[in-house]
Chains A and B, each alone.
Chain A
């Protein structure tokens, strides 16, 4: 079980209260109509599955019902960092964001 810090409530809670919402920092194409099928399909369906650092979106579903981001190591399950929506992670693999294409 994770023991997750909610940046909005300001305290740690059990994982039971949260839901994982997948990869974070997915940028919606500015003009979807201009996308070809490949670009739109990759935006909708294709996700990273890294071994190591992964930036994820989580929601405090049973608590304040707010989204936030988490950087997690998929090998050790260690939570490296919690940061709010709109902020950039400080813990990143190499130089590039794991979630950005």
Chain B
């Protein structure tokens, strides 16, 4: 065994921290679109339109990087999450409230309910073997759900991706340019999409989406 291989075997215990404030601590969790007051807009804004928008906020976002040719690691992921890593490029798998998006040949985005993040991350640390990386990026991004009859027309304004059903079937996920920023776009239904966007771009994209959907009518939901 070379020095490099023996070093890989000695994996230091990773520091895992529960990023959620304890109950009763008085700390308020604010999503990246907290300031937009979507709850108020959902009540007071239009109730009919071609595009519906909802922020799927405060989810746990875990970025997993590992080797897709390592059967032990694939089995470990299945043990922890109850669903297998999507090895096929540009695909996503969903089971209940847990989803895994393919990001690159050695990177996946695992989205879990916010309050389960710490438990799942800890479980990964116990079960995963070998050389891997797991990072909790929950605070850095948020998910926007878009649906409605005009949602494809809206998305066509924002990104060069081809949304024809033959090119972009339900279950596909792509990372691409989105309105000069970036987004991970996945199709969850015929007229239903999810965007994973960066916290720092959330306000800009919120303004952009309001502007781009003006001609169709934008309905905010919670």
List residues of chain A with CB under 8 Å of any chain B CB.
8-11, 13-14, 16-17, 62-66
Contacts and interface: CB of A to CB of B under 8 A. Distances in A.
B160 A11 contact: no
Contact of B105 (A11, A16, A17, A66): A66
A14 B156 CA distance: 14
Interface string B160-198: 110000000000001111000010000000000000000
A14 B176 CA distance: 9
Interface string B121-143: 00000000000000000000000
Given A14-B160, A62-B182, A8 B177 contact: no
A64 B176 contact: no
Given A9-B89, A10-B90, A14-B160, A66 B176 contact: no
Contacts of B161: 13
B155 interface: no
Contact of A64 (B103, B160, B177): B103
B90 A62 contact: no
14 contacts: A8-B89, A8-B105, A13-B161, A17-B160, A17-B177, A62-B175, A62-B182, A63-B104, A63-B175, A64-B89, A64-B104, A64-B107, A65-B175, A66-B104
Contacts of B176: 13, 17, 62-63
B161 to A, nearest CB: 8
Given A8-B105, A14-B160, 6 more contacts: A9-B90, A10-B89, A17-B160, A62-B182, A63-B176, A64-B175
A14 B174 CA distance: 13
A62 B103 CA distance: 11
Contacts of B174: 9, 63
A65 B182 CA distance: 12
Contacts of B160: 13-14, 16-17
Q: Which 4 A-B pairs have the closest CB atoms?
A: A64-B104, A14-B160, A10-B89, A63-B175
A14 to B, nearest CB: 4
